[in-house]
Chains A and B, each alone.
Chain A
Amino acid sequence: MLSAIGTHGPTVSPTTMMVLNVILFIIGVWLLIKPQDRKQTWLWALLLLTGLASASRIAMGFIPNVMPVTILAVMVGSKFGAQRGFAFAILVTLASNAVLGHGWWSLFQILGWGSVAILASMVKVHDEEGILSMSQLAFASLWSVPVFSIIVSLSIIDAGMSPIEFGLYLVNGLLYDLLHFLGNLFFAMWFGQWFERLLNMNQPHHQIVQQENGHVSTF
C-alpha cells in the first residue's frame, strides 16, 4: 500500500492515493450536507469560498506560504462551525492539490486546515451577533500558523527521524511561518470584510444591514 518510506514520508501509490482522495471527498461532502438545525444559508457561500480559496492557492503558488486558505478556514470555522470548516478544508485541499499535486502531505494539509477551522469554531472571530471582529481575525492570523505548520510538518516524520531532527526542521521553517503569518494578516486586513460578505451572501437582507452597521471596519 505504502510503496516506500523515505525522509519525506511514505510515498503513496497512485491507486491508494485515488482511493484516499475518494474517501476524503465523500467525507467532505457528507460533512457539508449532513443536516443540522440551522437553515442552509451557508451552502452556496461555502462552495463559492471553496472555489475562491482553491483558485487563489493555485494562482499564488509561486509565493511560498502566501495564500488566503488559512484565513478563510478561520472565518468559515468561526462562522459555520467545525463541521463545515473541516469540509471546507477537505474540499479546498483536494481541489487545489488536483493541480499542485497529491501525496501523503494532502492528508496532513487537510488535518492542518481542518484543525484551524475547528479551533476557530471554538475561539471565534465573530461576536455573539455574528459580526466579524477584525482584531480577533488579526490574532487568528497569528495562532493559526503554528497549528497548521506543526500538523503539516508531521508528514515528514518517519522511523529514522529523531526529535532533534524534527525540531531542526521546524526551526528551519520559522521564517516561512513568518511569511505565512504576514500573508494571513494581509488577507485578513484587505479582504476580511469582503470574505465576510460572501459568507453572509444568503442571509436575509435585514440581518446583513444590521451587521454592516456594526462593522469594525468597512471598505
Chain B
Amino acid sequence: MMRVATLFLALVLFLPLAQAASESSWTHEFEDGYITTKPLVIEDSVFVRTSGFWTGDARPVIAAFDVQSGDEHWRFTSQTSLQHDMAPLLYAEQGSGGCGSWQDLLIVGWADGKVTAHSTEDGSLVWENQTEIDQIGITGSMLIEDDQVIVPTRTGLSSFCLADGEEILNVDVGFIGWRNGVTAIEEGFVFGDESGNLHTVLRNGSVFSTHLGEGKIRHAPLDTRHGLFVHLQTEEGSTLFLNGSVLASVGQSPAIPLMHENRIYAATSDEWISILCDEDTCSIEATEPFHSNGELALRIVGTEIEVWAHSNTVSGGWGIFNQTAFVRMENFSFNTYGTAAPGFGPGVIAYGNDAGVLKVTFESSEPLGEEKTSVNILGGIHYAAVISLFLFTCYSLAHRDIKQLTKVGSAFLLLIAIAVVPELSLKLAEQTSPNGEAEWNPSWPDEWLGTQVIVFEIDGVEHTIGGLEPQQTVYDLTMIACDELGIETEIEQQYFGAYLVSFNGSVGDGWEFSLDGSRSQVGMTEAQLNDTSIVEWRPA
C-alpha cells in the first residue's frame, strides 16, 4: 500500500512538471540590428535576417538556426549592404525549369541592390546578381514564378533564373520604390512606388502605369476578384483603393495588408481593419483600435483564422484577431517596437522584433488549444482517479475493511474537494462579499478617465497606469501594463489554470485581482474587461 501511496503522490506532484515541459522555447539575441521581416520556418530550420542600426564592423546578416535546439547552423554576413534591409526572405524549393535546375534556396534581396541565393543547408552563396540602386536597392517582397524569382528593384522590376541567377527581365519604370512588394497577376506583375503609381509589367517587358493619388505604395498590391487593392500612404493618413477607386480613408502609416479567401486585413497606426469582399464589392466590415505598421500574418488553427499584427509601440507584442475582432495579445518579456510578422511552422512560432531578439516557441504554437489539451489530459487523469477511488471505496465498504476504507475514502474525498473547492469558493465569495465598485482615484490623471486602469500593490507600493490601448482580458491588460511599468512577471500554467506566480520576484502567499471592485469568478485569462475597467492586483 505504501508503494501505491507513493506512486499516487508522485503522480500528483509530477503533473505540473509534465505540463510545464510541454511549453518550451529558445531565444537568440542578435547584438546588432533589427529584425524587421518575418522569420521563415522551413522544416527543421528557422531563417532570419537583421536590418539597421549596426555599428562599427557589424553588418546585416542572415542566419539559420535549428528549430528545436536553437543551435546556429550558419550565418551569412553582407559586407556591402546599407541600412534598411527589409525585403522579406524568400524560400525556393528545389526544382527545375527552362533555365536549369536548382537546390533548396534562400533568396535574399539586399539594400545594396544585390540579389543572392544561398544553400539552405550551409548558407553558401549559390549565385548573386545586381539590380539598380538609387541611394538604396531592394526593400520589397519578391516572388517566385516557375523557374524565376521576380524582384521589385529600387527603380523597376527584374527577374532572375533560379538555377544560375541569370537576369531574364529588367524593367526601369522611372520612379523609385520603397518596400514596394510585387504581386503576380494574370497579365504579368504589378507593384507600386513612392509617387503613388501602380505599374503593371507584362511578361514580355511592356509597362503600363496608373497614378492612384498623391502618396506612397509600400506593399505588394492584392489581386482581388474586384480588381487590385492598394493601401496608399498619404500625408494626412492613408487611403484604401479598390480597382482604382477610393474605398475609405483611414489612419497613418499603413501596414502591409494581406488577403485570405474573401477578406482583406489591413492596419495603420490607429486601427486594425477587416474588409469583406462580397459578390459586388469590398467594404470595411470591422475595425479595432490597434497600432501596427509592418507585416501581417495569417495562421489557421483548426477551423479558426488568426490574423497576427505586430504592435509597433514601446510595449510591443503581437495582437491576434479573428476575422472581425481582437482576440488576445501575445507578449514576451523582451517586447518592444516591431514590424515583423511571426513565422509559423508545424507546432512552432518564430518571433522577431526591433531589439534584434528572435524567439521560437514550440507546442504552445496553439496556445489555447494546447492549454485545453493539457487541461483535458489532467482532467482525464483526475476523473479516472476519482472513479477508481470511488469504486475502491465502495469495495472497502462492502467488505467492511475499515482500515482500507479510511485510506481510500480520504483520497477519494480529497480528489473531489480539489476539483470542486476553487469554483465553489468563488461562488461563496460572490455571495458573501459586498458588491464593491471600483473607485476612481482623484489623484489619477484626467487623461485616464474613460480608459482601463490597473493598479499593482507590490511590496506595499502602488504602481498604477491607465490610458493604455483597450485590452480584452485581465491577463492582456496586466501584461501590457507590466511592460509599461517595467514590472517583471512570472506566470505558470498550473493545475487550476494560468497562475500569476510573482510580480518583480515577489511571490508571497499568492496574488489576487479584483475587477471593478469585485472578485472575479474566473481566472485572469478569462476575465473580460470593458473600456473603463479598473483592475487591482494585490497580495493574497
Contact = CB atoms under 8 A, between A and B. Distances in A.
A59 B417 contact: no
Contact of A189 (B410, B496, B538): B410
B2 interface: yes
Nearest to B493: A62
A94 B248 CA distance: 65
Contact of A103 (B8, B414, B508, B538): B508
Given A7-B538, A172-B425, A194 B2 contact: yes
Contact of A172 (B406, B428, B457): B428
Contacts of B1: 190, 219
B413 interface: yes
A161 interface: no
B425 A190 contact: no
A5 B518 CA distance: 21
A186 B410 contact: yes
Interface string B426-439: 00110011000000
Contacts of B8: 190
B421 interface: yes
Contacts of A219: 1-2
B381 interface: no
Contacts of B460: 3-4, 6, 10-11
B459 A59 contact: no
Contacts of B418: 63, 66, 179
A182 B417 contact: yes
Contacts of A32: none
Interface string A1-26: 00110111011000000000000000
Contacts of B494: 62
Interface string B97-112: 0000000000000000
Contact of B425 (A10, A176, A194): A176
B459 A138 contact: no
Contacts of B13: 59-60
B432 A66 contact: no
A48 interface: no
Contact of A175 (B403, B421, B506, B540): B421
Contact of B407 (A62, A101, A174, A190): A190
A178 B495 CA distance: 19
Contact of B403 (A103, A105, A172, A217): A217
B5 interface: yes
Contacts of B16: 62
A154 B406 CA distance: 33
Nearest to B538: A8
Contacts of B410: 182, 185-186, 188-190
Contacts of A30: none
Contacts of B540: 8
Nearest to A152: B509
Interface in A147-199: 168, 171-176, 178-179, 182-183, 185-186, 188-191, 194
A124 to B, nearest CB: 20
B411 interface: yes
Nearest to B459: A11
A206 B417 CA distance: 42
A101 B509 contact: yes
A60 B10 CA distance: 10
Contacts of B433: 168, 172
Contacts of A59: 13
A100 interface: yes
Contacts of A178: 417, 421
Contacts of B417: 178-179, 182
A188 B414 CA distance: 12
Interface size bracket, A side: 35 or more
Contact of A66 (B414, B425, B428): B414
B411 A190 contact: yes
B495 A103 contact: no
A176 B421 contact: yes
Interface string A91-113: 00000000011010100000000
B427 to A, nearest CB: 10
A154 to B, nearest CB: 14
Interface string B483-495: 0000000001011
A92 to B, nearest CB: 15
Given A179-B417, A179-B418, A190-B5, A172 B429 contact: yes
B539 A8 contact: yes
Given A7-B538, A11-B459, A103-B539, A174 B428 contact: yes
B294 to A, nearest CB: 39
A182 B419 CA distance: 13
B5 A171 contact: no
A60 B459 CA distance: 25
B407 A179 contact: no
Contacts of A103: 508-509, 539
Nearest to B510: A64
A186 B411 contact: yes
Contacts of A194: 2
Nearest to A194: B2
Contacts of A66: 414, 418
Interface string B69-109: 00000000000000000000000000000000000000000
B461 interface: yes
A217 to B, nearest CB: 5
Interface in A198-219: 217, 219
Given A3-B460, A66-B418, A182-B417, A175 B428 contact: yes
30 contacts: A4-B460, A6-B460, A6-B538, A11-B460, A59-B13, A60-B12, A62-B495, A66-B418, A101-B508, A101-B509, A138-B406, A168-B432, A172-B425, A172-B428, A172-B432, A175-B421, A175-B424, A182-B410, A182-B414, A183-B414, A185-B414, A186-B410, A189-B407, A189-B410, A190-B1, A190-B5, A190-B8, A190-B411, A194-B2, A219-B2
Given A8-B538, A62-B16, A190-B8, 4 more contacts: A6-B538, A105-B509, A172-B433, A185-B414
Interface of A: 3-4, 6-8, 10-11, 59-60, 62-64, 66, 100-101, 103, 105, 134, 138, 168, 171-176, 178-179, 182-183, 185-186, 188-191, 194, 217, 219
The 10 closest A-B pairs by CB, nearest first: A4-B460, A11-B460, A101-B507, A190-B5, A219-B2, A185-B410, A182-B414, A175-B425, A186-B410, A189-B407
